[in-house]
Amino acid sequence: MQLVLQNQQMAMISMGKLKNPVTDQVEKNLEYAKLSIDILDMLLNKTKGNLSEYEERFLTETLSQLKINYVEESGKKDKTNDEMKKEDKGGS
C-alpha cells in the first residue's frame, strides 16, 4: 500500500497537480508521471492473484485516476504547443 501511495504522489506532483514539498512549487514533468504510472501498472500485473480484494481494488482505482489525470495533462501540453505554434506563425 505504501508503494502505491508513494508512486501516486510522485505522479501527481509530476503532473503539476500537487506542489513539490521540497521546492514548494508546482512542477510538471509528464515523463516522470508516466514512469510512476508504469511502475504501478507493472505492480498490478505482477501481483495478479496475490492481492486481497481490497488491495487490488485500491491499486486499480488509483491507476484509473492517475491515467485519467495523465491524459488530461497531456492534452493541455498539446494545446499549449499548438497555441505556441500559431503565435509563431502569426508573429512572422
Alpha helices for the chain (secondary structure H): 2-14, 30-46, 53-91
Task: For residues 40-69, give the mean pLDDT.
Answer: 97
Q: What is the predicted pLDDT for the residue at 76?
A: 85
- 70 contacts 30 by C-beta, under 8 angstroms: yes
- 6 contacts 36 by C-beta, under 8 angstroms: no
- Provide the grid cell at 83: 497555441
- 25 contacts 19 by C-beta, under 8 angstroms: yes
Q: What is the pTM of this model?
A: 0.81
Task: For residues 66-85, give the mean pLDDT.
Answer: 78
CATH number of 2-91: 1.20.58
